[in-house]
Amino acid sequence: MPNVVIVGAGPTGATLALLLARQGIPVTLVEAAHNFQRQFRGEGLMPSGLDALNQMGLGPLLETIPHRPLSAWEFWLNDRRLFRADEPLGSAHPCTLVSQPPLLEALIQAAQRQPNFEWIAGTAVKDLLWQSDGETSQPDNRVTGVHLTDGRTIAADLVIGADGRASAIRQKAGLTLETQPKSIDVLWFKLPAPPDYATDNRFCTVVKKRRVFSLFHGAEEGKLHLAWAIAPDEPTEQQDWAKTFAALVPPEFVAHFHSAKDSISPPMRLSVLVGRCNRWHRPGLLLLGDAAHPMSPVRAQGINMALRDAIAAANHLIPVLTTTNASDPTALDRALAHIQTEREPEIIQAQTLQAHEASRGELLRRFGLLRQGLSTFSPLVGPVVKQIWTQQQQPLREGITTVRLNAD
């Protein structure tokens, strides 16, 4: 049976490896990191992401790892609440925050119970192996495996690059990422959560004095997250962050930020890269997840699109890899093209919706009169804005296209 090498053990790589291994397909999952405890991993599972996990039979895993549903979404302008929208906003399930490291560890453990699965951690891919008649590999030839940094070479009928927005596989395959114009970066802070967040975990977005940031309780017990949007050229030198935040947060948080001044973590700067490849595949190679289409952080689409990518890929790959067509590389390459064709429309529309929502936030940040007007008349305009906003969220929450895992 053909064997598959998946590079990158994030949500896309780990779930797809498990889905393929369950069907008896030999899979090697390669991860450059020794563990999953990197500083930042997205936590937001929208109803579409929760549905994807349930389709894979992985919903019960959430009960074994740290997770926390959101209670509501709040928007504050100039110290006045514009509106609050309670979860689940008409969905079957509320948006849920999940700690990615234990989720990924659980997925790997499940895959390791399959006899045809191999797990290689702490080893990066040095280069791709190409089918070539000469000594020099040509980028238009077929990918036939990977060279690892420890000297090993793994032959494969299919290499899948699921190694994130800075994908080395994408670069080595000569596939080009078309990026959107960069407008913001994010400074990410953690601090102790106020006691009331244990029972009312709202995602609070604040716009005040040309500043935009969000507050929410993450999956980790007792930790409040603060995501601070900054322009690329904005200075971020050391400052009294507690004093800065206390002057901007909603009134109910002011005392807490003053008391937590010695407990605020140093900021972690996240570079926001958004874009997509015009072509996700070459003969013998496929890109998925952020490697093919890095998403904006707006409304937590990354992990959800990753899981939906894995389902679509499994639907197209399993029939080819488990039938007599497996020996026909052209059948496999057709499947790769079909995966992009199926997934690309949703990615394009989701990125467009994310950009529109980000642009609305930018308008509020830049125009003080608009902020002041909405804030002053929030009792009147708030319900209308809430209704419009809630309706606009449905595609980003539920998914734009239908993604269903085919029956085994």
Is pLDDT above 70 for 238? no
Tell me what pLDDT residue 270 has: 85
DSSP 32: S
Tell me what pLDDT residue 133 has: 43
- Strand, helix or coil for residue 85: strand
Q: How many CB atoms lie within 10 A of CB 154?
A: 18
Tell me what pLDDT residue 136 has: 47
Tell me what pLDDT residue 55 has: 97
Mean pLDDT over the full length of the chain: 92
Averaged pLDDT for residues 214-229: 93
Q: How many CB atoms lie within 10 A of CB 113?
A: 10
Is pLDDT above 60 for 137? no
Q: How many CB atoms lie within 10 A of CB 356?
A: 11
Q: How many CB atoms lie within 10 A of CB 344?
A: 17
Tell me the pLDDT tens digit for each residue of 301-319.
999 999 999 999 999 999 9
- Which amino acid makes up residue 339? I
Tell me what pLDDT residue 323 has: 85
For residue 390, name the pLDDT band (cuts at 50, 70, 90). Answer: very high
Is pLDDT above 90 for 97? yes
Tell me what pLDDT residue 37 has: 75
Take residue 331 and report the two structure tokens written for it: 């059948």
Tell me the pLDDT tens digit for each residue of 248-269.
999 999 999 999 999 999 888 8
340, 280 Cβ separation under 8 angstroms: yes
Rounded to whole angstroms, what are the CA distances from 46 to 40, 83, 304, 396? Answer: 18, 21, 7, 8
For residue 272, name the pLDDT band (cuts at 50, 70, 90). Answer: confident
For residue 399, name the pLDDT band (cuts at 50, 70, 90). Answer: very high
Is pLDDT above 60 for 134? no
Is pLDDT above 70 for 73? yes
Tell me what pLDDT residue 379 has: 95
Tell me what pLDDT residue 181 has: 82
CA pair distance 19, 370, nearest whole angstrom: 49
Averaged pLDDT for residues 180-201: 88
Cis bond leading into 192, ω under 30°? no
Counting Cβ atoms within 10 Å, is residue 5 exposed (0-12), middle (13-18) or buried (19+)? buried
**Global pTM?**
0.94
Tell me what pLDDT residue 98 has: 94
Tell me what pLDDT residue 66 has: 92
Q: How many CB atoms lie within 10 A of CB 41?
A: 17
